[in-house]
Amino acid sequence: MDTVQSESSSSNTSITISSSSSLCTTPPRSESTHVTAPIVQERLPTSFYLRLAMRVSRARWFIFLRRVFHYQNGSRSDLGSNPFNSSTWMMSELIALFIQLTVITFTLAISKDERPIWPVRLWITGYDVGCLLSLMLLYGRFRQLDHDHGDIEQRHRGTEDNRSSRLMNRCRTSLELFFAIWFVIGNVWVFDSRFGSFNHAPTLHVLCVSLLAWNALCYSFPFLLFMFLCCIVPLASSLLGYNMNMGSSDRGASDDEIFSLPSWKYKRIDDNASAPATDDPQCCICLAKYKDKDEVRELPCSHKFHLKCVDQWLRIISCCPLCKQDLPR
């Protein structure tokens, strides 16, 4: 009996101990679940916006906007470095001009019976002629860019190409001046409060307002680009704790990709005219001037740096330090 009682008492004590241990261990698990849930909910929005910022910084349109900003605020000597001479941008210009010409032609055809007070139809016709001239200049720019990339020797020795490019730039400047003057005249004729142009010619009035709004958006593009890249992007990146400038690539470039880029030893043009020379007098990474026999490397965007400086940069970030253009994979 004593043995039975001792065994029963030991079993009772074991049961109570196990039950007490279960009671002691269950509340911390419940508390941990209640504590960690709000933390996960608080981290989800931040990680989502951070991933969104990383995707934006690595997008092609964001890199293109950075190139446009650098081109508008830097040197424009190199034709190949002009982001507006890219095939994608020229295709977008072609589509925009084609849409404008189609809409203008269709609107003039269906609004023959309208009699506006101001010569709005004359303004639309002049705008249509300007779009046709812009289409011709766009074709000339495309031919010139294709010709320059196709024949390098003729680009170095061709004086006729320089004359044609100068003539094209003058025509483009004159056309931009015409559109600016025509934009002011259109605002005066369309938004004159003394005459109700919408009542006499509603279709032509809507077309003029649409064309003026499109031109106003194009004229304000540099300001909008400045506000986006210099105000909105730095503010958003500082709030998220993410550097948008460093996010143009996922990883650094490999040694094979770096060594495949062209490099040479720097020589002055006066000393050796056959050797290539850099356009910039100094390296933009170390801010030191180039000296004779300095090893220089050129990136696909035509920017040049010291070989040691840019190799160290590319091993961390596989993009240009100036225009943020990624290296071809």
Q: Is the pLDDT of residue 319 over 60?
A: yes
3-state secondary structure of 1: coil
Q: In angstroms, how far apart are the furthest CA atoms of the chain?
A: 122
104 neighbors 207 (Cβ within 8 angstroms): yes
Strand order in the sheet with 304-306: 263-265, 295-298, 304-306
| pLDDT bracket for residue 177 (50, 70, 90) | very high
d(CA 157, CA 151): 11
Lowest mean pLDDT among 2-11, 116-125, 178-187: 2-11
pTM of the model: 0.57
What mean pLDDT comes out for the span 160-184? 83
By percentage, how much of the chain surpasses pLDDT 70?
A: 69
Q: Identity (one letter) of the amino acid at 280? A: D
User: Among residues 277, 318, 273, 317, which one has the least CA distance to residue 300?
Assistant: 318
Which pLDDT score is estimated for 217? 93
Asked if pLDDT for residue 26 goes beyond 50, the answer is: no
Residue 321 CA: distances (Å) to CA of 64, 75, 249, 311: 14, 16, 12, 11
- Is 70 exceeded by the pLDDT of residue 25? no
CB 253 within 8 A of CB 315: yes
